[in-house]
Amino acid sequence: MTSQEQIETLYTTSIDIDIPAALWLSANSRMHWRAKAEITKQLRWLGQVSARGAVGDHVRFKECEVVVSVAYPRRGRADPPNSSPTVKAILDGFTDAGLWADNDSEHIVLTSFQREPEPTGVKGLHRLYITIQGTAETES
């Protein structure tokens, strides 16, 4: 942030990201490391672009909690924490965008997962509703 004056405040933001089937990583996925690395790279870029579009460079969290609501393509059984490889790559992209200095436990004190009640209704499409709340430095 390049600001003359920064104010520390409690701040909340939400970032919604659509993840097509080709980019969805699950903790249950078994794929070649090179293919997984390429998908992770694309997800990280998607996270970076999404964060910059949502908050620009006007907010930098010092300490926060992240709640991830996962909307699945259809109703049925689901295990939201299995989305952790996808979410990890997205949060790495948020780090690249400057939302926080690092995505370690000093900056992100809690990451929780829940299921979004309504499905996306589009075959193969998952949607992440990511809510971040915590202490942030904002431009005045």
Span 13-32, pLDDT tens digits = 999 999 999 999 999 988 99
Which of 37, 97, 22 is CA-nearest to residue 61? 97
DSSP 33-92: HHHHHHHHHHHHHHHHHHHHHHHTTSEEEEEEEEEEEEEPSSSS---GGGGHHHHHHHHH
CA distance 127 to 78: 14
As a whole number, mean pLDDT of residues 91-98 equals 96
- In this prediction, residue 8 carries a pLDDT of 81
Helices and strands, number each (H, E), in the chain: 2, 4
In the predicted model, what is the mean pLDDT of residues 71-82?
95
- Classify strands 59-71 and 108-115 as parallel, antiparallel or unpaired: parallel
Is the pLDDT assigned to residue 113 strictly greater than 60? Answer: yes
Q: What average pLDDT does the segment 114-130 reach?
A: 97
From residue 133, give the alpha-carbon distance in Å to each of 41, 48, 110: 26, 18, 10
Q: Given a cut of 50, is residue 1 above it in pLDDT?
A: no
pLDDT (average), residues 36-43: 97
pTM: 0.91
Domains and CATH numbers, the chain: 6-76+87-139 (3.30.1330)
